[in-house]
């Protein structure tokens, strides 16, 4: 196997494994739109990184974190419905990112690579970012897991029982922001949310507990990465979209199958 | 007015008012729940019953007034609405463990509330009555000192309601915990309650069920007919002593 393909495979599998336990919460807590908003704002991070000559991942992480905190604060004092608020933030930041990038005359930016990912161009430094943020994110998520589940089941009940609801929710959206920043490299910012929600939604079909749903989602995500990369190397299809497409096919397959009802 | 800081008092609000967008939701409300006591909040729709309970629990910030909860008070809360999205797979067994209570015998606690066979059912498959029992079992695993129930009989059929209230009464006596309950089902509540607080944004009247049903403010709020019918239930209870 070529080196670049091996790196792509390792990066993709890492992302799939890390995205799964976050993805189930994105699905349970109805945060799909939120993931999209983070991803769209990532382009602004890309633009700023070029503008100030910063490390790209660092720039993207900073902007994503900023948007996550902003949204968390706006949601506490709702003036508009959350989906409207998210739509405004997502598209305003995406537009700002596009405009900012076009103003950077000195650098030519391969926009497609950011929009749809460039998993085949992953280098060792990217792999280290993904591994460090991924493992760190998983550790923190593991620590928050039970509290997050309690909040998801019933927020008031969790609060009365002493769960620090706001702190846990804020920590979760910040983790999500970190993850989006590293996942963008693999499937691009347009498709990041797909990698969260499609394996998780597909896994629901086979899972009877929250934990098995996360594990099955991880498996489905890995299959999607392997399938997508195979298709990409065999038929020269774009890698990021191919991964998402395989995940979607697995979803259709699982929901099409007649399952024994418990 | 300030709250009397007696160790007896588990939960209390003093002179609590809440005003949202120029509308008075609560006006100068006092409420106290002492250890082992059963307090029932009654009142018409929109009287602010749920809001008062949420305020006492710290879920809602009052505009003015004092809230008191005894330090480290363990509260078991059964909310008015409890809905878990079907996309979250949650068997009863896992749900019971989620409370972070003592690693007690789940089966025994479920049996205590008459739901022993539900251990492996999915939360979303339960009927209204079954769900209330499972929720109660979960709060019991956390060994509550105070049970807060917001219309526990909602979505439970008539026969189930009678069973549910007798279950609640039995559990409370066995566990010796205090109960703060909101209920519409006056006739079911009257017999099992120690003190009734009749709320209509402010406290109209409060006292034993018998006293409250004779109170003019109560009669005005619920009508002569209801008051007379309920007085019978309350009267029955007095004769038990």
Specify the fold of A3-256: ABC transporter involved in vitamin B12 uptake, BtuC (1.10.3470)
Q: Could B77 and A210 be called an inter-chain contact, meaning their C-beta atoms sit closer than 8 Å?
A: no
According to the model, what pLDDT value does residue B238 have?
A: 47
The Cα-based distances of A82 to A71, A74, A196, A233, B45 in angstroms read: 9, 9, 20, 41, 29
According to the model, what pLDDT value does residue B4 have?
A: 54
More confident residue, A192 or B146: B146
More confident residue, A200 or B3: A200
- Counting every residue written for chain A, the total comes to 262
Q: Where are the domains of chain A?
A: 3-256
According to the model, what pLDDT value does residue A88 have?
A: 87
The model's pLDDT over B185-239, given as tens digits with 9 standing for 90+, comes to: 666 666 667 788 888 888 888 887 777 777 887 777 777 766 666 665 555 544 4
- A20 contacts: CB under 8 Å, gap ≥ 6: A199, A200, A203, A214, A215, A217, A218, A220, A221
The reply to whether A150 touches chain B by the CB within 8 Å rule is yes
User: What is chain A's alpha carbon radius of gyration, rounded to the nearest angstrom?
Assistant: 18
Gap from A196 CA to chain B (nearest CA, Å) = 14
Highest mean pLDDT among A5-14, A105-114, B100-109, B148-157: A5-14
Nearest to B90 among A157, A210, A262 (CB): A210
Whether the pLDDT of residue B43 is over 70: the answer is yes
Nearest to B99 among A161, A204, A209 (CB): A161
According to the model, what pLDDT value does residue B240 have?
A: 44
Write out residues 62-91 of B within 8 Å (CB-CB) of A.
75, 77, 79, 82, 84-85, 87-91
Q: Could B99 and A201 be called an inter-chain contact, meaning their C-beta atoms sit closer than 8 Å?
A: no
According to the model, what pLDDT value does residue B1 have?
A: 44
**Of the candidates B165, B159, B151, B164, the residue with the CA atom closest to the CA atom of residue B43:** B151
- Could you give the residue range(s) of every CATH 3.40.50.300 domain in chain B? 9-74+145-240
Whether the pLDDT of residue B76 is over 80: the answer is yes
DSSP per position, chain A: --HHHHHHHHHHHHHHHHHHHHHHHHHHTT-HHHHHHHHHHHHHHHHHHHHHT--HHHHHHHHHHHHHHHHHHHHHS-SS-HHHHHHHHHHHHHHHHHHHHHH--S----HHHHHH--GGG--HHHHHHHHHHHHHHHHHHHHHHHHHHHHHH-HHHHHHTT--HHHHHHHHHHHHHHHHHHHHHHH-TTTHHHHHHHHHHHHHTT-SSHHHHHHHHHHHHHHHHHHHHHHHHHH---HHHHHHHHHHHHHHHHHHS-----
Q: Which residues of A touch B145 (CB under 8 A)?
A: none
Q: Is A148 left (phi over 0), alpha (psi -120 to 50) or beta?
A: alpha
According to the model, what pLDDT value does residue A1 have?
A: 67
Nearest to B89 among A30, A146, A208 (CB): A208
The model's pLDDT over A161-172, given as tens digits with 9 standing for 90+, comes to: 889 999 999 999
Q: Which residues of B touch A150 (CB under 8 A)?
A: 98-100
Low-confidence ranges of chain A (pLDDT < 70): 1, 78, 105-107, 259-262
Q: pLDDT averaged over chain B?
A: 82
Whether ipTM exceeds 0.90: no
Tell me the mean pLDDT in the region B75-92: 89
Superfamily of B9-74+145-240 according to CATH: P-loop containing nucleotide triphosphate hydrolases (3.40.50.300)
């Amino acid at each position: 196997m070529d080196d670049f393909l091996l790196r792509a495979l390792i990066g993709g599998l890492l992302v799939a494994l890390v995205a799964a336990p976050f993805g189930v919460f994105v699905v349970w807590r109805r945060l799909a739109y939120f993931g999209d908003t983070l991803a769209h704002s990532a382009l602004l991070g890309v633009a700023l990184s070029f503008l100030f000559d910063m490390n790209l991942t660092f720039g993207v992480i900073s902007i994503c974190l900023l948007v996550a905190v902003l949204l968390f604060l706006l949601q506490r004092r709702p003036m508009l419905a959350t989906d409207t608020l998210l739509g405004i933030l997502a598209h305003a930041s995406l537009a700002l990112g596009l405009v900012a990038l076009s103003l950077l005359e000195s650098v030519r930016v391969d926009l497609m690579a950011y929009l749809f990912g460039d998993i085949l161009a992953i280098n060792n430094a990217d792999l280290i970012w993904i591994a460090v943020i991924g493992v760190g994110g998983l550790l923190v998520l593991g620590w928050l897991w039970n509290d997050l589940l309690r909040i998801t089941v019933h927020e008031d009940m969790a609060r009365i029982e002493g769960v620090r609801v706001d702190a846990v929710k804020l920590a979760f959206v910040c983790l999500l922001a970190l993850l989006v920043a590293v996942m963008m490299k693999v499937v691009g910012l347009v498709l990041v949310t797909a990698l969260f929600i499609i394996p998780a939604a597909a896994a629901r079909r086979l899972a009877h507990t929250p934990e098995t749903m996360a594990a099955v989602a991880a498996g489905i995500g890995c299959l999607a990465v392997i399938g997508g990369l195979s298709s990409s190397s065999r038929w020269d299809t774009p890698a990021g979209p191919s991964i998402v497409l395989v995940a979607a096919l697995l979803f259709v397959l699982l929901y099409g199958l007649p399952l024994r009802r418990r | 007015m300030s709250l009397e800081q007696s160790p007896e008092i588990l939960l209390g609000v003093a002179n609590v008012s809440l005003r949202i967008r120029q509308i008075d939701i609560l006006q100068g409300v006092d409420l106290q729940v002492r250890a082992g006591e059963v307090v029932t909040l009654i009142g018409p729709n929109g009287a602010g019953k749920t809001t008062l309970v949420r305020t006492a629990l710290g879920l809602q910030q009052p505009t003015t007034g004092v809230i008191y909860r005894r330090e480290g008070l363990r509260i078991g809360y059964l909310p008015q609405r409890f809905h878990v999205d079907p996309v979250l797979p949650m068997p009863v067994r896992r749900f019971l463990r989620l409370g972070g209570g003592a690693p007690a015998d789940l089966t025994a606690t479920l049996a205590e509330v008459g739901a022993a066979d539900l251990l492996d059912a999915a939360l979303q498959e339960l009927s209204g009555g079954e769900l209330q029992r499972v929720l109660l079992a979960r709060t019991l695993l956390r060994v509550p000192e105070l049970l807060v129930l917001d219309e526990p009989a909602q979505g439970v059929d008539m026969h189930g309601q009678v069973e549910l209230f007798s279950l609640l009464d039995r559990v409370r006596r066995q566990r010796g915990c205090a109960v703060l309950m909101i209920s519409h089902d006056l006739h079911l509540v009257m017999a099992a309650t120690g003190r009734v607080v009749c709320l209509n944004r402010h406290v109209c009247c409060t006292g034993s069920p018998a006293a409250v049903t004779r109170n003019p403010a109560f009669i005005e709020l619920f009508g002569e007919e209801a008051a007379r019918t309920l007085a019978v239930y309350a009267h029955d209870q007095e004769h038990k002593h």
